[in-house]
Structure 1
Amino acid sequence: MTQETYDLIAIGTGSAASSVITRCAEAGWKIAVIDEREFGGTCALRGCDPKKVLAGAAELIDWNERMQGKGIQGQATINWSELMAFKRTFTESIPRASEDQFKQAGMDTFHGKASFVDEDHIQVGEEVLHGKHILIATGARPAPLEIEGSEHLIYSDDFLDLEQLPDRLVLVGGGYIAFEFAHIAARAGTEVHILHRSEQPLKSFDAELVESLLQKSKEIGIHVHLNAEVKSIRQEGNAYVVHGTRNGADHQWQCGLVVHGAGRVPNVDGLELEKANVSYSKKGITVNEYLQSESNPRVYAAGDVTDTKGLHLTPLAGQESRAVSFHLLEGNQHKPNYKVMPSIVFTVPALGAVGMSTEQAKKEGYEVQVNDMSKWYTYKRTHEKFAMAKVVIDKSTGRILGAHVLGSKTEELINLFAMAIQFNLTIDQLNTMNLAYPTAASDLGSLI
């Protein structure tokens, strides 16, 4: 057993750690980097980035189908093995490149499970490391499900690495992961069933837009079962039988794979936080406004593992990572920006939201501008049936408070609205902008 002292020990190598590691290394700090998995983090290796590659193929299939009889002939299909090979071109090089980058910057790298020995010592394998400062950036993991036969579930990591899709797929849960994977798999020819335990899936998004997405999901063959509670999963040969209830009545679904899509929880298991006097709850590690442990000031935490008000999104993890780097190098003086937190479900069409919800707007008396965009040029030219936007406006100031969008141009519009909210731009200011035409952005004036 050896023991060495570091200025910083970082547990995790994803977005929540990247700025801290980089800036402290540039400042000449002695750093140890630990990850129990491949270096690079969830988003780059088994999350946002590879998922978006697969979603891009689903978009092409949907566009092809919409334009049949409107100048396009011949059905496109997804070759799953070729698509997965293409996906790997984005992920395969990252672990080695990340580790090489850390080593070239003079850092010591460790592979293995990290756990606290006491308030400032970390054990990884046979090594015990002493840290003047410690960053916990371990992200989130799938929420445990109290289901008989839960060992038969596969997880998002597994789905993004499947060599082939089954003929029939069941997704347990009705959140981002379930709907994104459902839209990918359905476009690849799989029969998909989503089992969601309550009345409305995707609860953090506008209910009317979610309902439109459910209609689209149904049209492409996705079976969304609401008020469906899974009781058990049983393997029968090479297949699985999911037993549960739907609207109180017994039901069962047969499939080739069962995917966990029922949310994620902070990844604190095995860290032995009690030994470090680091307080936490089911929402994550308890930190102050500077992302410092309230009970052990040597420890900082960033990203999905914390109990901050930030959404569990890559840009927010990056914001928190930058904030921690400032605190460590310059003293506690920089707070993450939580004012604007745009989020998107990369279904086809995509569903997005930023700022105040329409429900909150109505309670507080703000105007909600509703636009069915399906007949607008931007969407009519690609024969989109489902395209809608809702914008929350403070008429007294002319400022935009929130936006909710469903359609193929959601990414573009949500980011425009996010900038408007961040910088307190008024409707009059936005209307003076000259935007390239014809684009989705040029619809901005009509949306407000």
Structure 2
Amino acid sequence: MGIEHYDLFIIGTGNAGKHVAYDAVDAGLRVAIADNREYGGTCANRGCDPKKVLVGITEVLERSIDMQGKGVCDLPRIDWKDLIAFKKTFTEAVPFTTERKLEDLGIKLYHQSPKFLGENTLSVEGKTVTADKIVIATGNIPLELKIPGREHLLISDDFLELEELPESMIFIGAGYIGMEFAHIAARCGVDVTLVDVNERILSNFDKGLALYLQENSEQLGIKFIFNARAVGVEKLRKNHRVTLEVDGKEQEIKAELVFNTAGRVPAVADLDLEKGNVAYTPKGVTVNEYTQSTTNPNVYACGDVANTGELPLTPIAHQEARITAKNILKGKNYMKLDVPPTPSVVFTQPQLAMVGMNEKQAREAGYDFVVNEQNVPDWYNSKRMNQNCYAYKTLVDKETGYILGAHLLSWDAAETINMFVMAMCGRLDVNTLKGMVFTYPSWASDIKSMI
């Protein structure tokens, strides 16, 4: 058999890879795509989407608990098996529908991770293929903790497939994933412990609001151990024993299940990038401002695997895919990656959200700015839901009145932060915002009191 040749070969079928494929086919290119897991990528199969389904039930439970004695008499009872069955209605069809759409478009499908043999040559499913352009969109995978007993550690994929909940869990890592799953488990009655090498949770978020969320999480019953490094895991008869180094001393904790939520890294280990002359670092494939490899001009990377300096978020993957497709179809250096202010959310309860700069970043950028910061659990929207955790911090440029950054902790932070995103993208100053009329009483109407 001869060597198959394609105009474009895409590695990865998540949000970044498949959208590049759609654009390329529309332009008439002969396209192939490959994935070593089920088609559809992390977000739809085992990430954002199924996680948010599980978060939904805890929101119902949280609201009921807050309103107990305020009109609610009997609290809902969680049936975990029913919840997982409901979650599967969102995920089970994703691989099939993704494959069918790609196949219907005439795209050649491969079910293996390709390896580079040369700058334009790949080996996949025992075949050698060549392509004028290659796009790497393999996303991120969990960071392996290289400690004794690591084979006993579970990851976020496993949490989303649990058929029943254990009595206790340990999460190693208090970032996005660890905090979100810890809140889900704790609200469903699991005894939860979070371990982290840092001195607090969510080190990328505003310290004051993160500590406020940490305090609220402790009220929920979540236990935290900070400045702690896991150095070993041992399987016992029922539980697992995790050995920690905490401030130079050894400590042991036990739980039925232990999850590695220490972070995620670019999925490049299986690609043999060196043979393709594709430079990369621990942050991902090294690309220029056009998402093009800095060492192999025929290779592009987008999504979480690309070291673009942007946040590893699904909306960013979409943006990078659009730019990548434009540059491949129109010619190199056609369009630079230009990402607008991008919000980020931790779907705990309350939710923690941010967009733009923190104080350190604003100072380093040379801005003269005003900080508005307050804990406001007595504001109406919090009080009407009988909640005790509501806070914000905003940074406003003194010269222009533009919002430089917004940080929210509230039941509705994931939605309210979008108002700040629109203000920042639309270059609306605080006087313009204060002059607008919003629905009242609504969470969004509160933003006028935050600036």
TM range (shorter): over 0.9
| 1:340–1:418 Cα contact (<8 Å) kept | yes
Aligned to 1:204, the other structure's residue is in SS state coil
The amino acid that maps onto 1:308 is T
- Distance in 2, matches of 1:246 and 1:62, equals 33
* Aligned equivalents of 1:299, 1:115: Cα separation in 2: 13
Q: In structure 2, what is the equivalent of residue 375 of structure 1? A: 378
Corresponding residue for residue 403 of structure 1: 406
Which residue pairs with 1:115 in the alignment? 115
Q: Is the 8 A contact 1:78 1:187 kept in 2?
A: no
Look up the match of 1:192: 192
> Which range moves more in the overlay, 17-26 or 29-38?
17-26
- 1:391 equivalenced with 2:364 (yes/no): no
* Pairwise CA distance, 1:335: 2.2
Whole-angstrom distance in 1 between the partners of 2:249 and 2:68: 40
- For the pair 1:442 / 2:445, whether they are aligned, the reply is yes
Q: CA separation in 1, counterparts of 2:218 and 2:363?
A: 30
Distance, in Å, in 2 between the alignment partners of 1:45 and 1:12 is: 13
Q: CA deviation at 1:44?
A: 0.6
Contact 2:201/2:214 (CA < 8 Å) preserved in 1?
A: no
Residue of structure 2 equivalent to 1:65: 65
Question: Match of 1:304, SS?
Answer: coil
Q: What CA distance in whole angstroms lies between the structure 1 residues aligned with 2:335 and 2:437?
A: 35
Q: Provide structure 2 residue ranges, at least 5 long, that are not aligned to the other structure.
A: none
Deviations 1:309-336 (A, max 9, x none): 1111111111100000111111232223
Cα drift, residue 306 of structure 1: 1.3
Structure 1: any 5+ residue segments left out of the alignment? none
**Residue in 2 that maps onto 1:358:** 359
- Helix, strand or coil for the counterpart of 2:223? strand
Residue 61 of structure 1: how far off its partner (Å): 1.1
Cα offset, 1:441, TM superposition: 1.0
Is residue 2–residue 126 contact of structure 1 (8 Å, CA) maintained in 2?
no
For 2:334, the equivalent position in structure 1 comes to 333
405, 414, 418: which one aligns with 2:417 = 414
Residues 206-251 of structure 1, C-alpha deviation per residue, up to 9 Å, x if partnerless?
1110111111111111101111221100001242111113333321
For residue 400 of structure 1, report the CA deviation from its aligned partner. 0.4
Q: Distance in 2 between matches of 1:248 and 1:63?
A: 41
Question: CA-to-partner distance for each residue in 1:10-35, whole Å, 9 max, x for gaps?
Answer: 00011111321111111111110100
Aligned pairs (5 A) from 1:59-208:
59-208=59-208
Tell me what 1:348 maps to: 349
Moved more, 358-367 or 12-21: 358-367
CA contact (8 A) 2:172 2:258 kept: yes
1:34-84, Cα deviation, whole Å (9 max, x unpaired): 000000010011000000111111111111111111111112222111100
Q: Which amino acid aligns with 2:342?
A: M
What is the SS of the residue equivalent to 2:304?
helix
Aligned to 1:9: 9
Matches within 5 A, 1:231-270: 231-270=231-270
Give 1:405 shift: 0.4
Does 1:302 pair with 2:305? no
Deviation for aligned residue 1:431: 2.0
The yes-or-no answer on 1:431 pairing with 2:440 is: no
How far apart, CA to CA, are the structure 2 residues paired with 1:80 and 1:317?
32
Task: Render the CA deviation track for 1:133-164: whole Å, top value 9, x for unaligned.
Answer: 10000001111212111111111111111111
In 1, are the aligned partners of 2:15 and 2:314 still within 8 Å (CA)? Answer: yes
CA–CA distance in structure 1, aligned partners of residues 50 and 336 of structure 2 = 30
C-alpha separation in 2, matches of 1:383 and 1:111: 51
AA in 1 matched with 2:92: E
Count matched residues: 448
- Output one character per residue of 1:98-129: Cα deviation in whole Å (capped at 9) or x when no partner: 00000110111010121111111111121211
Partner of 1:230: 230
TM-score (norm 2): 0.97
**Structure 1 segments of 4 or more deviating over 3 A?**
359-365
Distance of 2:362 and 2:10 partners within structure 1: 41
- DSSP-derived class of the 1:433 partner: coil
Which amino acid is 1:371 matched to?
Answer: Q
Q: 1:391-413: per-residue Cα shift (whole Å, max 9, x none)? A: 10012111101000001110122
Give, as a single letter, the amino acid of the residue that structure 2 aligns with 1:170: I
Q: More deviation in 258-267 or 71-80? A: 71-80
CA RMSD of aligned residues (A): 1.2
1: CA distance between counterparts of 2:113 and 2:278?
18
Q: Give the whole-Å Cα distance in 2 for the aligned partners of 1:360 and 1:380.
A: 33
Residues 11 and 113 of structure 2 are in contact (CA less than 8 Å); yes or no, is this contact kept in structure 1? no
- Corresponding letter in the other structure for 1:386: C
Q: 1:2 to 1:111 in 2, by over 3 A?
A: farther
CA contact (8 A) 1:8 1:32 kept: yes
Deviations 1:350-377 (A, max 9, x none): 1011101033346654111113231111
Contact 2:286 / 2:307 at 8 angstroms: preserved in 1?
Answer: yes
Letter in 2 for 1:51: K
Counterparts of 2:91 and 2:336, CA distance in 1: 32
SS in 1 for 2:372: strand
Q: Report if aligned partners of 2:15, 2:318 keep a CA contact under 8 Å in 1.
A: yes
Structure 1: distance between partners of 2:52 and 2:131: 37
d(CA) in 2 for partners of 1:337, 1:390: 26
1:410 counterpart letter in structure 2: A
Tell me, what secondary structure is at the counterpart of 2:37? coil
- Give the Cα–Cα distance (whole angstroms) in 1 for the partners of residues 5 and 39 of structure 2: 22
